[in-house]
Amino acid sequence: MKIISWNIRGLGSRKKRRVVKDFFRLQNPDVVMFQETKREECDRRFVGSVWSVRNKKWDALPACGASRGILIIWDSKKMSNEEVVFRSFSVLVKFLLNGSGPLWLSAIYGPNNPLIRKDFWVELVDLFGLTFPSWCVGRDFNVIRRRSEKLGGSRFTSSMRDFDGFIRECELHDPPLRNASFTWSNMQESPVCKRLDRFLFSNEWELSFPQSLQKVLPRWTSDH
């Protein structure tokens, strides 16, 4: 299974959607996940404007005004969904695949405000209890886990401690990136770079997909 996830920073531009559509045509994913769609509604015409696969289903968490928003789309010819759960920071889908048991996949967009991150971790721990034993969660957590995940280093913060605690409590795998150290840049001459994006998964998910790996794709039309 190939999953592509992207903090797209808005999908209102037709030009941007054409770029995204061409990119997915080259990559041929099974699931695509967008964060920060900035869309209150994602209908069939809109979804078709970003991914051309014929057999597809989708669910979306609406944006709040001109910010946030999550969209997850999947190839329904390859994957059938049984259940969808919406929360404040995530869309959770239960899939069935031939040759494996139920699989839960969470598309998440973590808050940038440290004051509400506690609610975010509570939500994810609750989802862990619902999705046991096979869960994959990603991708824009909007926080780093280690000081080395920011170019030039960073002081250790309570948000980093809470993030690490969530991963340990839920016993999730945090595999390394294969081809980069960071996933976000402010694109300045002297850039700030961080690893804000990642996929985490349970032991049972890894048993279903023992060759799992994650890597950074070219940065097109976004700073992620």
Q: Where are the alpha helices (DSSP H) in 99-200?
A: 117-131, 158-169
Which of 78, 108, 133 is at the close of a domain?
Answer: 78
Q: Residue 99's pLDDT is what?
A: 67
Residue 200: strand, helix, or coil: strand
* 150 in a structural domain: yes
* 223 in a structural domain: no
Q: Is the pTM of this model over 0.75?
A: yes
Percent of the chain as helix, strand, coil, to the nearest 5: 25, 30, 45
Tens of pLDDT along the chain (224 residues) come to 999 999 999 999 999 999 999 999 999 999 999 999 999 999 999 999 999 999 999 999 999 877 899 999 999 999 999 999 999 999 999 999 876 789 999 999 999 998 899 999 999 999 999 999 999 999 999 999 999 999 987 889 999 999 999 999 999 999 999 999 999 999 888 899 999 999 999 999 999 999 999 999 988 889 99
Give the domain range for residue 151.
80-214
Which of 78, 102, 129 is at the close of a domain?
Answer: 78
DSSP 176: P
**C-alpha Rg value of the chain to the nearest Å:** 17
Q: Is the domain of 52 the same as that of 119? A: no
Cβ proximity of 216 and 183 under 8 Å: yes
Q: Is the domain of 117 the same as that of 190? A: yes
- In Å, what is the CA distance from 158 to each residue of 107, 155, 190? 24, 10, 27
* 222 in a structural domain: no
Q: Is the domain of 158 the same as that of 55? A: no
Q: Residue 191's pLDDT is what?
A: 92
Q: Is the domain of 200 the same as that of 91? A: yes
* 210 in a structural domain: yes
Residues in the chain: 224
